[in-house]
Amino acid sequence: MLDPMLSFAFGFAGSMAVELVAFCAALQAEPFKVPHRYRHPLFWLVRVLVAVVGGSLAIAYEIRSPLPAINIGAATPLIIQALTRGDETLK
């Protein structure tokens, strides 16, 4: 059973893991080049804020084990997109 801070940490880490996978995929492209977006501080600010939302969602859903908290964090960008579209499946 996780306390809320650990739940937040796992949610945050799950959200950041999505960016790590995207970064690794971008580095696989030929020719080897770091994508432009990773050089902008604003990108990282927004990305960290999305990860904070991921950690907060893990707390809000009262997730008490690591794997579901990581899953919620990883799904955070999709959850945010669905909320902004007014997706009926979330109601």
What mean pLDDT do residues 21-26 have? 91
Indicate the pTM of the whole model: 0.87
For the segment 44-56, what is each residue's pLDDT rounded down to a tens digit? 999 999 999 999 9
Residues listed for the chain:
91
Amino acid at 15: S
Return mean pLDDT, the chain: 91
Nearest one of 23, 85, 9 to 51, comparing CA atoms? 9
Strands (E), the chain: none
Task: Please name the residue that has the structure tokens 């902008």.
Answer: 40
Domain ranges of the chain: 4-90
pLDDT at residue 25 greater than cutoff 80: yes
Are 58 and 8 spatial neighbours (Cβ–Cβ below 8 Å)? yes
> In this structure, what token pair is assigned to residue 59?
């707390």
